Amino acid sequence: MKRKVVITGIGIWSCLGTNIDEVRQSLYDGKSGIGLDQERLDYGYRSGLVGMVKTPELKRLLDRRIRTGLSEEAAFAYMASKEAFEGAGIDDQYLRDNEVGVIFGNDSSAGAVVKSAKIMEEEHDTAMIGSGLIFQGMNSTVNMNMHTIFHLRGINFSVSSACASGSHSIGLGYLLIQQGLQDVILCGGAQEVNIYAMSSFDALNAFSTRMDEPTRASRPFDRDRDGLIPSGGAAALILEDYDHAVKRGATILAEVCGYGFSSNGGGISEPSDVGSMVAMERAIKDAQLTPADIDYINAHATSTPKGDMYEAIALNKLFKGEHALISSTKSMTGHECWMAGASEVVYSIIMMQHNFVAPNINLDNRDEYSEPLNLVERTVDTQVDAILSNSFGFGGTNSALVIKKPQ
């Protein structure tokens, strides 16, 4: 028999705020976290637009040895995980006495890799690299560091699947708990924001250059969009077996009840309406729901014409005539890439808890594909019982999650 999987803690460190309360306010207010970074322009980016993510002050929180091996994204992940564990009522003693796993989505650690390469170029001597960059530079930097800091002894690996990484991490955590293989797993996604992380993405002309009005630049589903804005931070969620959560008296925030995935089988950077639909349909079927049961869809839509168009086509096919409200929170956050699939579930749970749907800001003029969608241009106060969160990544990897309000 499949076990019920719930979420008992959430944490966030993003350009919308550095804790759940700040982010709730930003989401409700429709506040953009995008700014202009001169350093990017000086470095040679076409676009200096980026999510303005604060750097955590870790000196009083973590000892030097841990900090030495902590990459930028792992530092973000630590702050989000700390908040999630605290919210779940899981303290250090619990973590030492019980088996907890970790699955994090992360698909690069360019900052640390480039730093190592620069030392080698200059010194031609590996001895000058020091001890920390190996633990910062691997894709598994987040889960290896979270494992060490929180004394985790369960499942432990990273999911690298481009912009669907964070979503797949929750999906896989859900499956492991559902099957009875784990009781508690820290899931999430992390994304670096340093200048080395996204230069090759900028090379594809994928980023908006609307630099005269940064907060208006990310405009998913809008006719006049001109690209996405890179962003980052980290989101963390404590996934837990329902009975286990009840037994230890935890507050249940939401239920993970559907995970769907697919691959497009086509071009490396080509989105697909068919692939998107397969993932969404699977997630809804897995949740034993129908499209009519979904109240809110957190769209993947990144503010690129092609990606938005294919998702809009898929959403039109699946949700035509249904009541589900739709928004892309990337209109406020920019594209949080490896982290997005996890952060957008956190954003959606916040909306579910506080009975509102956050807006798809900057939606001034719809195009023919987005016109029929139930897109939300301004915050709507409404009850949200079931949400669908979409994540579609480069390399044709798709993930969709259905989350419900606890019964």
For other proteins, the binding residues (CB under 8 A) are 63-65, 68, 127-132
Per the listing, tokens 């019980």 go with: 98
Output 65 or 306, the one with its CB closest to other proteins: 65
Q: How far is the CB of 175 from other proteins (least distance, A)?
A: 35
Output 128 or 204, the one with its CB closest to other proteins: 128
Question: How many CB atoms are located within 10 Å of the residue 43 CB?
Answer: 13
Output 126 or 179, the one with its CB closest to other proteins: 126
* Residue 163 annotated among the catalytic residues of the structure: yes
Output 132 or 275, the one with its CB closest to other proteins: 132
CB 386 within 8 A of CB 292: no
Closest CA to 9 of 100, 81, 61, 96: 81
What values do phi and psi take at 192, rounded to 5?
A: -75, 155
Q: How far apart are CA 4 and CA 397, in angstroms?
A: 26
H-assigned helices in 273-339: 273-286, 305-319, 330-333
Q: How far is the CB of 59 from other proteins (least distance, A)?
A: 8
Encoded tokens for 400 = 């969709």
Q: Which of 163, 187, 257, 337 is catalytic?
A: 163
Q: Which of 15, 168, 257, 300 is catalytic?
A: 300
Q: How far is the CB of 241 from other proteins (least distance, A)?
A: 36
Q: How far is the CB of 70 from other proteins (least distance, A)?
A: 13
Q: Which of 147, 187, 257, 335 is catalytic?
A: 335
The identity of residue 383, as a single letter, is Q
Output 65 or 96, the one with its CB closest to other proteins: 65
Q: How far is the CB of 108 from other proteins (least distance, A)?
A: 24
Q: How far apart are CA 177 and CA 169, in angstroms?
A: 12
Closest CA to 49 of 303, 364, 346, 270: 303
Output 132 or 341, the one with its CB closest to other proteins: 132
Closest CA to 131 of 198, 213, 65, 184: 65
CB 343 within 8 A of CB 352: no
Find how far residue 373's CA is from the centre of its chain. 23
**How far is the CA of 165 from the CAs of 4, 43, 48, 301, 338, in angstroms?**
23, 28, 25, 16, 5
Output 38 or 124, the one with its CB closest to other proteins: 124
DSSP result, 187-255: EEEEE--STTTSHHHHTTT-B---TTSGGGT--TTBTT---B-B--EEEEEEEEEHHHHHHTTPPP-EE
Residues belonging to the active site: 163, 300, 335
